[in-house]
Amino acid sequence: MRIPCPLCGERDAAEFSTIGSAPPPRPSADAPMEDWHAYLHLRDNPAGLHAELWQHIHGCRQWLRVMRDTRSHAVASAEACRP
Amino acid sequence: MTRLATCGLIDRAQTLRFTFDGRAYQGHAGDTLASALLANGVRLVGRSFKYHRPRGIWGLGSEEPNVLVELRDGARQEPNTRATTAELFEGLSARSQNRWPSLRFDVMALNGLLGPLLSAGFYYKTFMWPAAFWEKVYEPLIRRAAGLGRAATAPDPDRYERMHAHCDVLVVGAGPTGLAAALAAARTGARVILADEDFALGGRLLAERQEIDGAPATGWVARVLAELQNLPDVTLLPRTTIFGAFDHGTYGAVQRVADHLAEPAPGQPRQRAWTIVAKRVVLAAGAVERPIAFPGNDRPGVMSAAAARGYLHRYAVLPGRRAVVFTAGDDGWRTALALRDAGAEVTVVDPRDRPACPGLRVVAGARVVGTGGRLCLISVRLDTGEAIAADLLAVSGGWNPTLHLASHQGGRPHWDEALAAFLPGTPPPGMAVAGAAAGRFTLAACLADGAAAGLQAARDAGHEGQPLALPRADDEPAGLRALYHVPGRKAFVDFQHDVTADDIALAAREGFRSVEHAKRYTTLGMATDQGRTANVVGLAILAEATGRGIAETGTTIFRPPYTPVAIGALAGAQTGPDFRPTRLTPLHAWSARHGASFVTTGAWLRPEWYARPGEAGWRDSVDREVLHVRRAAGFCDVSTLGKIEVVGPGAAALLDFVYANDISTLKPGRIRYGLMLREDGFVLDDGTCARLSENRFFVTTTTANAARVMQHLEYAHQVLRPELDVSILSVTDAWAQIALAGPRARDVLAQVTAQDVSNAALPHMACTEAVFAGGLRGRLYRLSFSGELAFELGVPPDDAEALADRLRAAGAEPYGTEALGVLRIEKGHAGGGEINGQTTAGNLGLGRMLSRRKEFIGRVMAQRPALVDPARPVLVGLRGDGLRTGAHLLEPGAAANTANDLGHVTASCWSPHLQAQIGLALLSGGQARIGTRIRVYDALRGQDGEAEVVAPVFIDPEGTRTRA
Ligand SMILES: [Zn+2]
């Protein structure tokens, strides 16, 4: 698989590591426990376009938000989390 | 001998000696093992997988289903190599497989008599009962009876390596289509890789006697290769199989660099695995001839007609003097004419109505219904009742496009009734299929198709050029009547897995009508050749048996690898100690010179202790090192600690966010012990954080978690706090770090630096830039993990040895990781055994560190009821003989079961200072149990004893030594 890093260009997936699904926004400190539970543990598992976090650990070390189709592995976009 | 005196692409000047099953033979450079065996008249070359039937050479290349052999001896012995792809070399030793005691007399051929028992689905039927018999009787029996070759038992002495490459156009196959495609693409200036599994490039043109531009086609091949060789952006890869098409234009290839040599030259790898990323791909893999299933079609001497022609033209081998050609199409006639011209007596059997032909005996409108002979073919029977004496039966059932790579990403082939062939479905993005692989089976069509596909691929990759002036060639006749099967017993479909036409019909009768079910039930196409010659015939028989057409029956799809790939090639150089890089500290060589032995810690090698002459064992060394620290001063290489600089106006805010305790209140020039939590509330890592200046922090992590903490910091910054202006840099390798500890540490330090290191100038948890003796510039931190007065000294790696020499000269002795461990257990510091991913700050006695005045990662979830449950195991000390790490803790007298488990010993050691066996443990209700006794139960080592529960700090709980 190839991932188009916005800083380094298209690179082999072996240069990256991933934590899987991109988590929802981090709840505020006073949010109810249910929100924190959802933030930490609940993820969709779609057959189709899927937002994922990948880090280019053997390159620029940027964390990337990658939109990837889980059926075809086609990467629709990859953007730096901190542009 | 069946070698002809003239013709062929072998080098008659170079004679090569080889052995097969112990007998000596001779061949020539340019031979394969198969062609050399045929040239020597060897026709029986293997036994079949299941029935141990005698088998001979069917094919010309990697499609060969029968002739799998063992090559070489000793550690280089290699099973299951196709004799048709094994390039002959001087001294090659080859052996047939799956026979005992010999190829000519194989006891297991009795399996042939058990045929009815071993028919389709026999795994599921015959050996079902009694169940216990499977493991003890049936499986060993079957394994002995049915099998492939034996792998070497000694370690592989050869090297393998991996290579990565990018190109504009990858051309797979160097036949007429591939050569035209590569030339058209290369002339645009595109970066081209042309790969072919054969050792000679030219594909089918090497096996034919065809003309291009009015001269032998081999001349055109030579001219094209010469031009390609001279283009700087073209890479020619003979002996290279593109075995898989993966995502996003990534292709796997294996290059047999030295398989054609007795052993690789010094420094040369045996094989090289390539990862090729191609913008565009032209699949020009050609086609292979398929057999016709008829009774006795597996007898040695029955051969693909196109292969027979290939042996004649390329290797100058006449595969039979009295030949029958059984062909359903025009292609077989070319073989008949070639054999005739080479002097053979030839009969053509064609089910179609065919006219007479000079020099050939033609039996039109007929079929072959049987063969005779025991170990080799001696006769052929026709449905006319005639029997013909023959030593070669060349069979031509039409062509199967080699479309495997086009279906590796899921593209399902579709049946073309007019061509009687499966054609590629939707290929992977960026791939075009051309020539015979796309069903264009004639020479002129292949050249035109390849040239067009090559130019288009280069254009799609961003290059521009002119269409190739097409060389002049003819389209040979390619008429065909679809004929797959002549009814009768022992008509083999899958030669390698011994699947017969009857097996497929039986599967259909028993309800396995879907192609996927029939495949698994009969094992059709599941051998190492993935049914390259077998599948279409099998599907046709299944279609017939179920009353459907082939198009409706459909086909299974192919997966990587196209041909078997040695695991060694994929592993490359990453074997044994080279499985991953080994990291050495700047003091590694120094430590080795001073008697250190080393222990693997993650990727690092660290000194475990420094043995001295006269010490009886490791305990002597470790006890001496510990006592020297407690009584005088020692120093330890702690360069493996993760070291991270966090710099910028937002650095303090970021560190406040990732540490559970406050960092922003730290003053420049001071250090704080820090604790990081995971977002789920458990402890991630501990370490120190030194504020070098207002916006510059130096963070240390444990050795084990260095990479993880770095990633965690980057995540916290980039994903969670992107608004902060911070830079984070790993400086682990930029600093050699030495811990200096002991009551005399300050005296030692005073001898290696002129700076004021008094308690007033450098109090506990202070840090400063420093200049050490000899002008070494570095940093000085006052912090302690041993409970002693201690410092850490940081210098550039190149200065580490000089500093170590000076420390030693000043009276400090080096100590290793074992002593380091004893010192930290005596002091009750949490380490890897305690920070194990399942402990909270409270469990480690560090609950007070959690800040109440700020937000930080893990804060909310650390308050979960289960994480603040007072019954959770907490850190305590243990004292008692026989304490061993990993032992479980129980109430004295309680039964040893999981329900009564109160925790476990996380670390233990002999304390030479206390003269006692001590340990740390995570113990439920531990605080209240201090002063009581606990049962220490170690089922793994068969030990059972008791220990006293004590506070986890065994030495100087007030910290007066540290602050001295
Ligand atoms: Zn990058």
Give the model's confidence band at B374: pLDDT under 50 very low, under 70 low, under 90 confident, else very high: confident
Closest by alpha carbon to B363, among B330, B309, B325?
A: B325
> What is the pLDDT of chain B when averaged over all its residues?
94
Interfacial residues of A (vs B; Cβ cutoff 8 Å): 1-2, 12, 17, 26-27, 29, 31, 33, 36, 40, 53, 55, 57, 61-63, 73, 75, 80-82
Residue labelled with tokens 């169940």: B131
Burial of residue B320 (CB within 10 Å: 0-12, 13-18, 19+) is buried
Q: Is the peptide bond before B892 cis (omega within 30 degrees of 0)?
A: no
pLDDT digits over B462-509, tens only? 999 999 999 999 898 889 999 999 999 999 999 988 899 999 999 999
* pLDDT of the residue at B140: 62
Q: Which of B162, B570, B654, B718 to mutate to test the interface with A (most CBs of A within 10 A)?
A: B718
DSSP code, position B428: P
For residue A68, being part of any structural domain is answered with yes
Cα separations in angstroms, B332 against B218, B240, B313, B349, B365: 22, 29, 15, 10, 15
Q: Band of the pLDDT at B145, cuts 50, 70, 90?
A: low
Say what percent of chain B tops pLDDT 90.
87
| Residue A60 resides in a domain | yes
**Chain A residue numbers touching B715 (CB-CB < 8 A):** 55, 63
- For chain B, give the number of residues: 964
In the structure, how many helices (H) and strands (E) does chain A have?
1, 6
Amino acid type, B855 = E
Which residues are B674's β-sheet partners? B687
The answer to whether B211 faces chain A, any CB pair under 8 Å, is: no
CATH classification of the domain holding A69? 3.30.2270.10
Q: How many CB atoms lie within 10 A of CB B675?
A: 22
Question: What mean pLDDT is predicted for residues B328-357?
Answer: 96
Which residues of chain B does A81 touch, with a Cβ-Cβ cutoff of 8 Å? Answer: 718-719, 722
User: Confidence class of residue B413 from pLDDT cuts 50, 70 and 90?
Assistant: very high
Contacts of B719 in chain A (CB under 8 A): 53, 63, 81-82
Same fold, B1-156 and B593-639+735-823: no
Matching residue, tokens 């002795």: B813
pLDDT number for residue B513: 87
List of residues 6+ apart from A70 with CB closer than 8 A: A46, A47, A48, A50
Query: Residue B764 and residue B13: Cα distance in Å, rounded?
Result: 84
CA distance B134 to B126: 10
**Taking the CA of residue B745 as centre, how many other CA atoms within 13 Å lie in the half-sphere pointing to its CB?**
34
Q: Which chain A residues contact residue B864 at CB under 8 A?
A: 33
Q: Residue A72 is part of which domain span? A: 1-20+47-83
**Domain ranges in chain B?**
1-156, 160-287+401-460, 289-399+478-553, 593-639+735-823, 642-731, 870-964
- B62, pLDDT greater than 80: yes
Distance CA B587, CA B592 (A): 9
Question: What is the three-class DSSP state of B437?
Answer: helix
Q: Average pLDDT in the B591-615 region?
A: 96
Return the DSSP state at B348.
Answer: E
Q: Compute, in angstroms, the gap from residue A66 CA to the centroid of ligand 1.
A: 12
Can you give the pLDDT at residue B129? 54
- Top residue of A5, A36, A41 to mutate, by most chain B CBs within 10 Å, is A36
- Label residue B555 by pLDDT band (50, 70, 90): confident
Q: Which of A36-45, B46-55, B641-650, B894-903 has the lowest mean pLDDT?
A: B46-55
Whether the predicted pLDDT of B546 surpasses 80? yes
Chain B residues with CB-CB distance to A73 below 8 A: 247-248
Residue A20 burial (CB < 10 Å; 0-12/13-18/19+)?
exposed
Q: What CATH code would you report for B1-156?
A: 3.10.20.440
What's residue B507's pLDDT? 92
- CA proximity to B816, closest of B586, B602, B611, B583: B611
- Whether the predicted pLDDT of B132 surpasses 80: no
Determine which helix (DSSP H) or strand (DSSP E) holds B25, and give its type and residue range. Answer: strand B23-29
Tokens 């909270």 correspond to B840
- DSSP string covering B371-387: EE-SSS--EEEETTS-E
Question: Chain A within 8 Å of B645 (Cβ-Cβ)?
Answer: no
Res. B704: pLDDT tops 70: yes
Is residue B135 predicted with pLDDT exceeding 80? no
Instruction: Using the predicted structure, report yes or no on whether residue B623 has a pLDDT greater than 90.
Output: yes
The predicted-structure confidence for B871-910, as pLDDT tens digits, reads as follows 999 999 999 998 999 999 999 999 999 999 999 999 999 9
- A21–chain B nearest CA distance, Å: 13
Across the interface, whether the CB atoms of B250 and A57 are under 8 A apart is answered no
| Residue A67 located in a structural domain | yes
Token pair, residue B251, equals 């292709």
For residue B368, the SS3 value is strand
Instruction: Provide the pLDDT confidence category of residue B530 given band limits of 50, 70 and 90.
Output: confident
A-contacting residues of B 660-689, CB under 8 Å? 679-680
Q: Where are the alpha helices (DSSP H) in B738-799?
A: 745-752
Residue A62 lies in a domain: yes
Using a 10 angstrom Cβ sphere, with 0-12 exposed, 13-18 middle and 19 or more buried, the burial of residue B438 is buried
Single-letter residue type at B26: Q
Res B48: pLDDT: 84
C-alpha B46 chain-centroid distance = 30
List % helix, strand, coil for chain A (3-state, nearest 5).
15, 40, 45
Domain at B870-964: CATH code: 2.40.30.110
Confirm whether A72 is domain-assigned: yes
Amino acid code (one letter) for B731: V
Q: Is domain B593-639+735-823 classified as CATH 3.30.1360.120?
A: yes
Q: Give the DSSP per-residue string, B53-121.
A: -EE----SSTT--S-EEEES-GGG-EEEEETTT-B--TTEEEEE-S-SB-SSSBGGGGGGGGGGGGSTT
- pLDDT of B133 over the 70 cut: no
Q: Report pLDDT for A81.
A: 97
| Nearest to B311, CA basis, from B181, B418, B206 | B206
Write out chain B residues lying below 8 Å of A27, CB-based: 860
* Listed residue (B423, B420, B472) closest to B443, CA to CA: B472
Q: Quote the ligand 1 centre to A14 CA distance (angstroms).
A: 12
pLDDT at B459 (0 to 100): 98
- Are A2 and B249 in contact (CB < 8 Å)? yes
- Confidence at residue B150, expressed as pLDDT on a 0 to 100 scale: 80
**Bridge partners of residue B946, in order along the sequence:** B935
Selected residues 163-182 of chain B with any CB under 8 Å from a CB in chain A: 164
Cα B393 to chain center, whole Å? 41
Residue pLDDT, tens place only, B648-670: 999 999 999 999 999 999 999 99
**Exposure string for A37-48, b = 16+ CB within 10 A, e = fewer:** eebbeeeeeeee
Is the model's pLDDT at B136 over the cut of 70? Answer: no
pLDDT score for B118: 63
pLDDT of A22 above 90: yes
Instruction: State the CB neighbour count (10 A cutoff) for residue B579.
Output: 10
Q: Tell whether B570 lies on the interface with A, counting CB pairs under 8 A.
A: no
CATH 3.50.50.60 fits B289-399+478-553, yes or no: yes
Architecture, CATH, for domain B642-731: 2-Layer Sandwich (3.30)
Which ipTM score applies to this complex?
0.98
Q: Which residues of B touch A75 (CB under 8 A)?
A: 248
**Dist. CA B747–CA B751, nearest whole Å:** 7
Looking at B465-547, which runs of residues are DSSP E strands?
492-494, 499-500
Q: In CATH, what is the architecture of B160-287+401-460?
A: 3-Layer(bba) Sandwich (3.50)
Q: Mean pLDDT, to the nearest integer, of A16-28?
A: 96
A11 in any annotated domain: yes
Query: Into how many domains does chain A fold?
Result: 1
The 8-class DSSP code of residue B160 comes to: E
Q: What is the DSSP letter of B872?
A: S
User: B379-411, pLDDT tens digit by residue?
Assistant: 999 999 999 999 999 999 999 999 999 999 999
